[in-house]
Amino acid sequence: MEYLPLFIDLKNRPVLVVGGGIVAARKIKILQRVGAMITIIAPTLCTELKKVLFKQNISWIEKKFQPIMLDKVILVIVTTNNAKLNALIYQNAEKRHILINTVDDKNKCSCIFPAIIDRDPILIGISSCGTAPILVRILREKFESLLPKSLGFLSKLAGIWRSRVRQHIVDVVLRRRFWEKIFYNGHIATLIEQGRPEEANKVFKYTLNNDVGNNNKKGNVTLVGAGPGDIGLLTIRGLQVMQQADVILYDYLVNSEILDLARKDANKICVGKRVGDHSMSQKELNQFIVRLAQKGNKVVRLKGGDSFVFGRGGEELEIISKAGISFQVVPGITAGIGVTAYAGIPLTHRKYAHSVVFMTGHNANGDNQVNWAALSDYQRTLIIYMGKINALNIRNNLIIHGRSINTPVAVISRGTYQNQKILIGTLIDLEKLTRIADYPSLLVIGDVVSLHSQMHWFGQKALNYCPTYLIAHSM
């Protein structure tokens, strides 16, 4: 191990920064956060440093560096591009056994700055000892996505209650179990993640006074929208709760690569529905979720797209709420937004569409449940989920109520995946396009579809332009 990782208390301790540019400003910003007494040696200062110059614990000496300036300093940071000056400072710092960091020159450093993940008071430093800074940046991004912002408050609350927990729970094993099962991975942590610190404090007090030694823990449920397919469209928050879950109940539409991001020991159960293939009824599923949570599990209900957009998330939460189970919702990118973006089709455009309607094709069978007259506005984009079966009824009703047969349409299957397929035609072609489209498919109806040829950016362009579309849009 080339370097010993240490956390140093610099509050009210003297630190010298040589250089007045933007690099110095970045280092000084970090030093300010820990309360160091900062002296800057530089002939001039950048604009950012001038803004903070007269703040507490920052002074500027507009002179050339002299070795005597290192006296009574415990750390010096060198940010200049003057090699001779940097060497002089390093030699004098070494003679005085003062820690020195020379930016971008490992050979003139006795200490280095790691990449910092700050969840105060939780701090994580990542370093490659100067060998691979880009890799360190990538690792930092990954850790940032894994650690919730509430982690710091959770740690502070634990610090406040630590001595009282030790008094209440003398047995070391029981005390460890309390922190692991009830506090850090239980209902209290969930409340803090939801931004309910006062309630978390109350639950903590009650649990400590009444439930110590009780092995039963309260479960909870989180509805997570997994997005339309591409693993990169899963939200950071969705990833975080998945990695805490004991049980994940997922739909057929969820990308298997997203499931691989869950805890390896999590129980993953498919509860999806397809036409003619329901693993369980919605009523059975609702009760199943409740039973799992009542047994103390952290349950994630993972749905394709967004839970509240044709995902029956509202129905499930009604039952969960009535059962008195704690819950939260992590929104996802619904297919109507994600799939169309990947197809290069904007949903609104000042020239082509002033509004957009999201609807399901299940009820598009000609009855009075659908206001076809309103949907036939030529400046309204229609996004139709699950529309393959009733495509013929959708086409006929829109035409009957005034929508032009030459209205551009797109049928997009496997949207946001590498094998995404886009079929484009006109409204009169809609039923034909859905017959040759793969499952699952999203129907897009409106003049904005014609922008695909200009705005396509992901995967292949539309594969099968129907003849009627080419004729109607070649004039």
- Tens digit of each residue's pLDDT (9 = 90 or more) over 87-142: 999 999 999 999 999 999 999 999 999 999 999 999 999 999 888 889 999 999 88
Cα–Cα distance between 58 and 32 in angstroms, integer? 9
- Choosing from 149, 156, 181, 273, the catalytic residue is 273
Residue 144 or residue 82, greater confidence: 82
Residue 366 or residue 311, greater confidence: 311
- Choosing from 251, 306, 429, 447, the catalytic residue is 251
The 3-state DSSP class for residue 6 equals coil
11 is catalytic: no
Average pLDDT over residues 281-285: 92
Question: Which pLDDT score, from 0 to 100, does residue 366 have?
Answer: 55
273 is catalytic: yes
Question: Which pLDDT score, from 0 to 100, does residue 475 have?
Answer: 41
- Which distant-in-sequence residues (6+ apart) come within 8 Å of 414 by Cβ? 229, 420, 421, 438, 440
Q: What percent of the chain has pLDDT over 90?
A: 65
Question: Which pLDDT score, from 0 to 100, does residue 362 have?
Answer: 80
Average pLDDT over residues 145-157: 86
Q: Is the dihedral of CA 224, 230, 236, 239 positive or negative?
A: positive
User: Is 376:402 a contact under the CB 8 Å cutoff?
Assistant: yes
- Which distant-in-sequence residues (6+ apart) come within 8 Å of 16 by Cβ? 39, 41, 69, 70, 73, 75, 76, 77
**Of the spans 129-143, 277-291, 321-335, which averages the highest pLDDT?**
321-335
Is the pLDDT at 213 greater than 60? The verdict is no
The residue to which tokens 């240490």 are assigned? 6
The amino acid at 351: K
From the number of C-beta atoms within 10 Å of its C-beta (0-12, 13-18, 19+), residue 462 rates as: buried
Is the pLDDT at 173 greater than 60? The verdict is yes
Report CA-CA distances (Å) from 94 to 76, 277, 423: 11, 73, 69
What residue ranges define each of the domains in the chain, with the CATH number in brackets? 14-113 (3.40.50.720), 151-210 (1.10.8), 220-333 (3.40.1010.10), 336-472 (3.30.950.10)
Residue 174 or residue 401, greater confidence: 401
Please give the model's pTM, rounded to 2 decimal places. 0.73
Question: Which pLDDT score, from 0 to 100, does residue 321 have?
Answer: 96
Question: Which pLDDT score, from 0 to 100, does residue 274 have?
Answer: 67
Question: Which pLDDT score, from 0 to 100, does residue 20 have?
Answer: 94
pLDDT tens digits for range 224-253? 999 999 999 999 999 989 988 999 999 999
Q: What percent of the chain has pLDDT over 70?
A: 93
Report CA-CA distances (Å) from 289 to 55, 184, 300, 315: 55, 22, 9, 12
N residues, the chain: 475
Cα–Cα distance between 368 and 358 in angstroms, integer? 18
